[in-house]
Amino acid sequence: MINFNKPYLTGNESTYIQQAFNSNKLSGDGKFTKLCHSWFESELQANKALLTHSCTAALEMAAILADLAPGDEVIMPSYTFVSTANAFALRGAIPVFVDIRPDTLNLDEELIESAITTKTKAIVPVHYAGVSCEMDKIMAIAKKHNLFVIEDAAQGVMSKYKSQYLGTIGDMGAYSFHETKNINSGEGGALLVNSDKFTLRAEVIREKGTDRSRFYRGEVDKYTWQDIGSSYLPSEMIAAFLYAQLEKAQEITNMRLAIWQRYYEAFAELEKTTLVRRPFIPQYVEHNAHMFYLLLDDEKTRDNLALYLKQNDILAIHHYVPLHNSPAGIRLGRAHATLPHTESISARLIRLPLYNELSLNDQEKIIRAVYAFFAKGR
């Protein structure tokens, strides 16, 4: 069976985990946490990076930092993972779902302004498949209406928008290092704080609402409860694993890009027949090859292709069920107008296996199987 995903190891993960263990510092904010923070701040030019135990946690921190209150509204796509909405619903805010662009599958920047009300407090662009949203337009809208921009860059580590790394453009950005992501630590995430006014409070929220970080820096003589917060730190073992990945981040990205490009070129002929559509990458984007998907004519064709591939020992899967149609989405959020592209694309998209150790032979088998499916008449 060709699996859909296989987490990649660089080779230094176990060595660094052992070093963390030998340091007798297993809880968060030890040597490897600091190394990870420094990497993000130097390599990506992030203003302030804070490791978290998940991207969900990073988004929850962002919601607290934005001072969201019950009844506030947050604009986001419906075609995204539940964490994008959950983080804000937990504060009592209302997710307002806006349709996606049919080309990039990202939040349609042209629809944002019409969704803004007096209750709107933030915009959450989700960089689907590591392909950037149109951030200049989104930032301009946010500035005009005095709104926060919180980037859900869970899939976007190492991707860029006009030479700027995703997650570093909005007021805050959230990363995921789940095992399905390019750079992984099994579980894990990070919050990038891009405005100085949030930095100290972000540290407090992350440390259960205390000023413990300032205490460890010698800025206060004891730490006390200062604000609401939670235990958002990952352990040093997670940080040690992640640092081994970050050291090879560009190498990992380049390997994935090569696999992605082979798919893209291989399916050019199939796209000409209009049987499939390949991913669209705008000129302003440097993507990270997080995933390779095909868009098919309809849901039946998508499901039949997935079944055919499985029968040929290839695991290919669909992606998100739209949040605005889900039970919690209906109860906790609302759709702004209709979302035809979200509903259509979610039913027609299939993701093909893409991971660093996918062999050329296996990739060629996948490509041949897709062509064979269409050759036999679907």
238-290 confidence digits (pLDDT tens)? 999 999 999 999 999 999 999 999 999 999 999 999 999 999 999 999 999 99
Element (DSSP H or E) covering residue 192: strand 189-193
One pLDDT digit (tens) per residue for the chain, 378 residues = 999 999 999 999 999 999 999 998 899 899 999 999 999 999 999 999 999 999 999 999 999 999 999 999 999 999 999 999 999 999 999 999 999 999 999 999 999 999 999 999 999 999 999 999 999 999 999 999 999 999 999 999 999 999 999 999 999 999 999 999 999 999 999 999 999 999 999 999 999 999 999 988 999 999 999 999 999 999 999 999 999 999 999 999 999 999 999 999 999 999 999 999 999 999 999 999 999 999 999 999 999 999 999 999 999 999 999 999 999 999 999 999 999 999 999 999 999 999 999 999 999 999 999 999 999 876
The answer to whether the predicted template modeling score (pTM) of the entire model surpasses 0.85 is yes
Rounded Cα gap, residues 117 and 281, in angstroms: 31
Domain extents in the chain: 13-246, 249-375
Q: 13-246 has which CATH code? A: 3.40.640.10
- Tell how far CA 122 is from the center of its chain: 18
Q: Identify the three-state secondary structure at position 152.
A: strand
Q: Domain 249-375 sits in which CATH superfamily?
A: Aspartate Aminotransferase, domain 1 (3.90.1150.10)
User: Are the C-beta atoms of 304 and 147 separated by less than 8 Å?
Assistant: no
User: Are the C-beta atoms of 227 and 204 separated by less than 8 Å?
Assistant: yes
Locate all alpha helices (DSSP H) within the chain, ordered by sequence. Answer: 13-22, 31-43, 55-65, 82-89, 109-115, 135-145, 199-206, 212-216, 236-246, 249-266, 268-272, 299-311, 327-332, 340-348, 360-375
As to burial, measured by CB atoms within 10 angstroms (0-12 exposed, 13-18 middle, 19+ buried), residue 57 is buried
Rounded Cα gap, residues 62 and 173, in angstroms: 8
